[in-house]
Amino acid sequence: MAEQCEMIVGFLVPHRCDHPALAHCVTCGRGFCDEHVNLTPQGMVCLACRQGLDQPVVLPITAQNFSPADVAAFQAASLWDDDDSDLFSDLS
Q: Phi first, then psi: what are they for 9, rounded to 5°? A: -125, 165
- The count of structural domains within the chain is 1
Tell me if 83 is assigned to some domain. Answer: no
Q: Which helix (DSSP H) or strand (DSSP E) does residue 76 occupy?
A: helix 68-78
Q: Is the Cβ–Cβ distance between 41 and 33 less than 8 Å? A: no
The residues near 72 (Cβ < 8 Å, ≥ 6 apart) are none
Distance from C-alpha of 90 to C-alpha of 56, rounded to nearest angstrom: 31
Tell me if 40 is assigned to some domain. Answer: yes
Q: Is the pTM of this model over 0.85?
A: no
pLDDT score recorded for residue 75: 74
Tell me if 86 is assigned to some domain. Answer: no
Tell me if 84 is assigned to some domain. Answer: no
Tell me if 91 is assigned to some domain. Answer: no
Distance from C-alpha of 6 to C-alpha of 27, rounded to nearest angstrom: 14
Residue ranges making up the domain that contains 71: 8-78
Task: Quick: pLDDT tens for 36-88.
Answer: 998 999 999 998 898 888 888 776 556 667 778 887 887 777 665 555 555 55
pLDDT score recorded for residue 72: 80
Tell me if 34 is assigned to some domain. Answer: yes
Tell me if 27 is assigned to some domain. Answer: yes
Tell me if 63 is assigned to some domain. Answer: yes
